[in-house]
């Protein structure tokens, strides 16, 4: 592919990078797939394991009371195994958390801990396994692509579409253009995500399209939370994490990032 070098050039993120083990993110996807398989041996059933993961982040007295000893042992094993296997991708989280201002600490996404990153990574993998077929069967499918995937060299010519901005294909190797072409090939309407009130948007789309599916490409915390929101509203969701988080929310200014185009096509087939 002519865009291969651009797509898989390692880039550092503010808190994470999926390029930790080489020039592409293939190692990360192999690792998260293997880890999910390992945990499913201890906790059979993707939905059961997903519920256990979400229970892990709740540290209230009630949640502890509702967790069995067997589940607590599984959670301890899971946390430690994830830490040992995934910390190479999240090396900058600790420094990021220490650098936050008091105002930034009010942002629940910015204060995501390293352990939560690992749980989100596993959650995204499980949600894709659980809802992939239901997503593919939906009559109307749309995708939201992170705006930081734009090619920053020219002036982006994206235009306002019916729900979000739409790529005009002005740059050959722009990842939003490449992703949009691939998504359209599989009957998915691609948009550039700029709307902040996603719940309002998703509720409207669900009302307009009862048979609907959503796909997201975003940084790990925003992707996991966006998928949760879709599922809560009855929209089957799948998604792919950005290779690194580099937008202005995380850094002083926006920096171009990337995602694994091959893994996106695997998710769609």
pLDDT in tens, 120-176: 999 999 999 999 999 999 999 999 999 888 777 767 787 787 888 888 878 888 899
- Low-confidence winner among 46-60, 75-89, 99-113 (lowest mean pLDDT): 46-60
Kindly list the distances between the CA atom of residue 197 and the CA atoms of 116, 119, 245, in Å, as whole numbers in the listed order: 23, 25, 20
Burial 70-109 (b: 16+ CB within 10 A, else e): ebeebbeebeebbeebbeebbebbeebbeeeeeeeeeeee
Kindly list the distances between the CA atom of residue 40 and the CA atoms of 35, 37, 126, in Å, as whole numbers in the listed order: 9, 5, 10
What is the C-alpha separation between 180 and 162, in angstroms, rounded?
Answer: 16
Band (pLDDT 50/70/90 cuts) for residue 211 is very high
Per the CB < 8 A criterion, the answer to whether 214 and 230 are in contact is yes
């Amino acid at each position: 592919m002519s865009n291969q070098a651009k797509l898989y050039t390692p880039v550092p993120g503010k808190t994470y990078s999926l390029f930790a083990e080489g020039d592409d993110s293939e190692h990360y996807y192999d690792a998260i797939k293997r880890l999910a398989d390992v945990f499913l041996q201890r906790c059979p059933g993707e939905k059961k394991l997903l519920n256990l993961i979400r229970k892990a982040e709740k540290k209230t007295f009630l949640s502890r009371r509702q967790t069995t000893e067997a589940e607590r042992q599984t959670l301890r094993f899971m946390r430690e195994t994830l830490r040992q296997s995934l910390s190479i991708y999240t090396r900058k989280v600790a420094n990021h958390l220490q650098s936050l201002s008091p105002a930034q600490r009010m942002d629940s996404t910015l204060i995501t801990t390293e352990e939560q990153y690992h749980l989100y990574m596993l959650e995204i993998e499980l949600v894709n396994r659980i809802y992939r077929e239901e997503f593919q069967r939906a009559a109307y499918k749309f995708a939201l692509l992170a705006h930081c995937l734009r090619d920053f060299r020219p002036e982006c010519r994206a235009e306002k579409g019916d729900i979000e901005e739409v790529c005009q294909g002005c740059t050959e190797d722009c990842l939003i253009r490449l992703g949009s072409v691939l998504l359209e090939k599989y009957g998915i309407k691609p948009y550039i995500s700029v709307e902040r009130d996603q719940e309002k948007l998703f509720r409207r789309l669900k009302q307009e399209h009862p048979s609907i599916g959503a796909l997201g490409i975003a940084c790990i915390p925003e992707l996991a939370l966006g998928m949760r929101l879709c599922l809560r509203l009855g929209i089957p969701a799948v998604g792919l994490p950005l290779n690194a988080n580099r937008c202005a929310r995380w850094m002083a200014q926006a920096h171009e990032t990337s995602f694994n185009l091959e893994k996106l096509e695997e998710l769609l087939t």
